[in-house]
Structure formats: C-alpha cells, structure tokens
Amino acid sequence: MNSSKLRVLFVAAESYPLVKTGGLGDVCYALPNALRQLDVDVRLLLPGYSAVIERLSLVEVHDSINIYPLLEPIRLLVGIMPGEITPVYVVDCPSLYQRDGGPYQDITGKDWEDNAVRFGVLSKIAALFGEHKFLFKPQIIHCNDWQTAITPALLAFSSQAHAKTIMSVHNMAYQGIFGPETVEQIGLPPESFNMFGLEFYGKVSFLKAGIYYANQITTVSPNYAKDIQTETYGCGLDILLTERQQQLTGILNGIDLDVWNPDTDIHLNRNYNIRNLSAKVRNTQVLRTKLNLENSKQMPLIGMITRLTEQKGMDLVIPIIPLLIKAGVQIAILGSGDKTLENHLQRLAAIYPKKMSVTIGYDEELSHQIEAGTNIFLMPSKFEPCGLNQMYSMSYGTIPIVRRTGGLADTVIDATPENIKNKLATGFVFERTNSNELLYCLQQAVKMFHNKAVWNQLQITGMTRDFSWQKSAKQYISLYHHSINTI
Ligand code: ADP
Ligand code: GLC
C-alpha cells in the first residue's frame, strides 16, 4: 500500500454498472473513478447482491467475520470493477443480499422487511474498516445515503475509531426509519436512542444517525444544502441540519463523460458533437421508429426518464398531456415505480398512438437513446437534490425544462431574453409546482424550437458547459483533508 496516498473507503448500496436504481448508482461509480484519477486510494464497499458477485472479477476472499450472534458468518470478498481499476470490497452474506428482486424492495415493490439488518450489516462492516480491522486502513469512510448512515454512529461510540466520516445525502426523502428494537439489533448502545442521537419520533432514523454523528455532511448540490435547512425540504431534520451547518457542504455532482458523451456513446445510431450537431437528427429518426412514433421534423419530441415517484412531478405533467399533443408535440417516457402513475401513463399512450410512447421498466440503452434523440427533456421535480438527467441532456444538445429547485436550479440557466443575448442560456426554468406554469414554460420552449438560430445557440451553450467530475472531486478531497486535520 502506498501510504502517502489519501485512503478512502466509499460505501454505498449501489454502483453502476453492477447495480443501479437511479442517480446514486451513477455517482457511486463516477466519483470514485474521478478520485482515483486524482491519486486518491479510494475503494468501494458494496453489499453482495447476486448481480454484484456475478459481474465483479473476484480476486480474493477474506476470512469469515462473525458480527451478530444470530447471523451467518460474513465473508469479505475483494474484486475489481469491470473495465476499471477500482478495488471493490463486497459484503458476502447470501441470506441478506442474494434474493430475487431489487436492492431495497422485492419484486412486488415492497421494501424488504429486514432492511434495517441488511443495511445495518453494511454499515457495521464499514465501521470495522474505520477501526482498521482489515488490511486496507482508510483515513476516511465516505458514506452515501441512509443505507450506510449507521457507520458514523458506530464509530462515534467506538474506542478504536481511526477514520473520519463523511455523510453524503443524495436524498433527504429516504431516511431508513425502523422500530426502536433496531438499536440493539445493529449493535448500538441504548444511549444513542435519544433525540440527541438517532431517535426520530419514537423510531430509529438511519439518516439522522449519519447526519448527527458524521464528522462532515455533504449534499449533492449547493442549493439543496440550503433547501434542506428549511421545513419544506428538510423532511423533519431541518433543525438538526441548521445546527450542523458549519459541517454541511453542497458539492455539485458531475457526469461521467466516458459513459454519457454523445460523441462516443455506444448506444447511439450516430455519434455527434458540436461540430456535426446535425447528426443528432438521425438519432431522433431512429428513436421515433423504435418507439413507433410518427416521423415528423416539425414536431418537437419531449423526453422523460424517471423513477415514477412523488418527487419527480409526473402529476404536473399528466393533466396537460392532451393539450401538449394537441399543440403538436410528441412525448417519449421511460420510467417505473408507482403503479397508479404507470397505469395512467399507459392509458394515455393508448389514446395517442404515434404521438406518445410510454416504456415501463428500466432500460439503460433506451435511456441513452432518449437523451440523444429527443429535442426537449422534462424534469418538473417537486424537489431535486441534484439531478443528473438535466446535465446529460445539456451535453447531448437536448434542451432541459426544469423546476427551479435543488440542483436543477444550480445547473440550468433559464432562456430569458438577457441570458439568450449573453449566450448563457441552456434551458427553461419554471418556479411553482403548478401544471399551468409548466404548460406555459413548455409553450415558450416549443415556440423557441422553431427559431433554429436561437435553439442552436442553446444547444451549443449546453454542450460546451463543463459538467465533468474533476472540480467536484477536488472539493471532496479538500473536505477529506479538512476532516482528517480537525479533531
Ligand atoms: P434520481 O437519482 O433521483 O432517480 P437522477 O437524475 O440523479 O435522479 O438520476 C437518475 C438516473 O437513473 C439517470 O442515470 C437516469 O438515466 C436513470 N434512470 C431513471 N429511470 C430509469 C429507467 N426507467 N431506465 C433507465 N434509466 C433510468
Ligand atoms: C438522488 C437524487 C438525485 C441525485 C442523485 C445522485 O437519487 O434524487 O437528485 O442526482 O441522488 O446524487
């Protein structure tokens, strides 16, 4: 081990391309890569889902570890990310992780009943790394979201903690809330079950534990770091976050240009960049054919790729779909989640064949093709910690329409007359969670779509923006050093 390098264990419940349900998976692949390029010895720790074990090139198996009396012994596996050099530690405990279904839910969409133990165990293994119980001795344990948020609490109560903890919050709306019996199950002392601790209205909140006990807290955009200190967006933890604001930093996510780049994207019919932007049209034609949409250059094609949850604002879109179709646009939606929303969208698609396409499910290839093939990308989120698709859209010459919230407000520059004049505009921004405002904003965008010179300028401005991870990865490195140097 090169001891002069900064040593970081990056803990997460998902990481592309092994397992991904949303942006967390993208970030937990791209950020460690960016850190390694800046000479940080960063290694990942993931749960041993079947997909992870099957797709990793495994190189080593460590001895079994007994952590909880009623649980089978756990093996720590070590592998290498496919096509990468990032070492990955895997918590191998088949009874907890090897199941049919998703990382957090069964096939019917119900949360796994033992999620407290499943992610308590992940957090516990991360804490053992923080106690330097293994060969790799990290100086920082970087936790991501509630599934890893017990680690800072375990280390705060440990007499052998040798690492500092960073708690990155990708979404306040998911806290990991369980019954009080969890405290004992996951091996925390009873005194942690306290309002000055992880107690949350008589229950245990994993995320509160992370926010309360971590040395530093980050969120995935500067604006969301402010948002979550308010009652509206704080999900009951705004006061705690305000108390800890000296340790709270918003660091904007980047995008992985090896995966999301129209010039090299392996999923596209035709690659393109700012010099041959006209080739984007070919991807639109191919997408229309694939989705069985009418081929017409006159109609703008609007895309959405999204988890179908309350957060993403689909309820603002549904009521205006008939009006949009009437006004001459086409819509391509890829998403999955809430069954009522899925059914509603499918019913609308059946009413408007050739004009509206709805694909229910998770489809990585189609997601790239929608980014490249659509003209406008819609993200009317009620809240958005960062959002990646608006950045993918801008770099694919697809103009985003977003609500002014969280990371969307930090990344999209509204097409006001002044911003257009100064060649700064990259998209359209509306304020309130209101279908009429969204409709008005969409109408403005459609009008501008027909003004080719201005549209082209919006595309070029977005495509030349730097959304790479470099800058943000450097901010994380400063934070790591700051944590190490602070008692
Ligand atoms: P969130 O993490 O809240 O879902 P982000 O915008 O940060 O939102 O990231 C979403 C990521 O998940 C993007 O990479 C997006 O392309 C992907 N994604 C979401 N839904 C689907 C889907 N149904 N099929 C394929 N990719 C999807
Ligand atoms: C979460 C947020 C999203 C963010 C992603 C990655 O899932 O909802 O806004 O981009 O995490 O940080």
- Residue pLDDT, tens place only, 262-285: 999 999 999 999 999 999 999 999
Q: Are residues 313 and 416 in the same domain?
A: yes
Q: Is 150 part of any domain?
A: yes
Give the whole-angstrom CA distance, residue 50 versus residue 19. 10
Claim to verify: residue 98 and residue 20 sit in the same structural domain = yes
Pocket test for ligand 2, best of 14, 24, 27, 31 (most atoms within 8 A of CB): 24
- Residue 178, domain CATH: 3.40.50.2000
Residue reference for tokens 């790591």: 480
Are 445 and 348 contained in the same domain? Answer: yes
Give the separation between CA 374 and CA 261, rounded to whole angstroms: 15
The size of the chain, in residues, is 487
pTM, two decimal places: 0.96
Q: Which residues contact 347 (CB under 8 A, 6 or more apart)?
A: none
Sequence-distant (6+) residues with CB within 8 A of 7 are 1, 40, 41, 42, 136, 137, 138, 139, 140
Q: Are residues 238 and 386 in the same domain?
A: no
- Residue from 304, 303, 270, 265 nearest 285 by CA: 270
Q: How far apart, in Å, are the Cα atoms of 364 and each of 14, 49, 253, 465, 466?
A: 15, 19, 20, 24, 23
Nearest CA to ligand 2 atom 12: 170
Would you say the CB of residue 45 lies under 6 angstroms from ligand 1?
A: no
23 lines ligand 2 (CB under 6 A): yes
Distance 179 CA to ligand 2 centre (A): 26
Whether 417 and 364 map to the same domain: the answer is yes
- Based on the domain organization, do 356 and 476 belong to the same domain? no
Cβ burial of 432 (10 Å; 0-12, 13-18, 19+) is: exposed
Is the C-beta atom of 171 inside 6 A of ligand 2? Answer: yes
Counting Cβ atoms within 10 Å, is residue 269 exposed (0-12), middle (13-18) or buried (19+)?
Answer: middle
Could you tell me if 374 and 239 lie in one domain?
no
- The answer to whether residue 209 is domain-embedded is yes
| Residue 22, ligand 1, Cβ within 6 A | yes
- At 404-416, the pLDDT tens digits run 999 999 999 999 9
**Domain that includes residue 362, residue range:** 274-463
- The answer to whether the beta carbons of residues 312 and 381 sit under 8 Å apart is yes
Regarding the beta carbon of 379 and ligand 1, being less than 6 Å apart is answered no
pLDDT at position 67 over 90: no
* Residue, of 194 and 1, whose pLDDT is higher: 194
Q: Are residues 354 and 312 in the same domain?
A: yes
DSSP state of 318: G
Q: Please give the sequence-ordered ranges of beta strands (E in DSSP) within 309-420, or none if there are none.
A: 330-337, 356-360, 376-379, 399-403
Say yes or no: CB of residue 408 within 6 Å of ligand 2.
Answer: no
100 within 8 A of 147, measured Cβ to Cβ: no
- Going from the Cα of 292 to the center of ligand 2, the distance in angstroms, rounded, reads 31
Instruction: Dump pLDDT digits (tens) for 155-214.
Output: 999 999 999 999 999 999 999 999 999 999 999 999 999 999 999 999 999 999 999 999
- Which atom of ligand 2 approaches the CA of 220 most closely? 12
Residue 139: CB within 6 Å of ligand 2? no
| 289 and 411 housed in the same domain | yes
Number of structural domains (the chain) is 2
Q: Ligand 1: does its nearest atom lie under 6 Å from the Cβ of 336?
A: yes
For residues 306 and 231, membership in a common domain is answered with: no
268 occurs within a structural domain: no
441 and 325 co-located in one domain? yes
Q: Is the CB of 303 under 6 A from ligand 1?
A: no
Domain contains 264: no
Q: pLDDT tens digit string along 93-114?
A: 999 999 999 999 999 889 999 9
Would you state the structure tokens that stand for residue 418, as one six-digit string?
């002044």
Distance 181 CA to ligand 1 centre (A): 34
Instruction: Judge whether 288 lies within some domain.
Output: yes
Phi, psi (rounded to 5 degrees) for 306: -160, 150
- 425 plus 476 within the same structural domain: no
Q: Is residue 38 included in any domain, yes or no?
A: yes
Whether 266 is covered by a domain: the verdict is no
Does pLDDT of 2 surpass 70? no
Whether residue 263 lies inside any domain: the answer is no
- Per-residue CA distances from 103 to 110, 200, 253 (Å): 11, 24, 23
Task: Give the mean pLDDT of 121-134.
Answer: 97
Residue 472 near residue 399, CB atoms below 8 Å? no
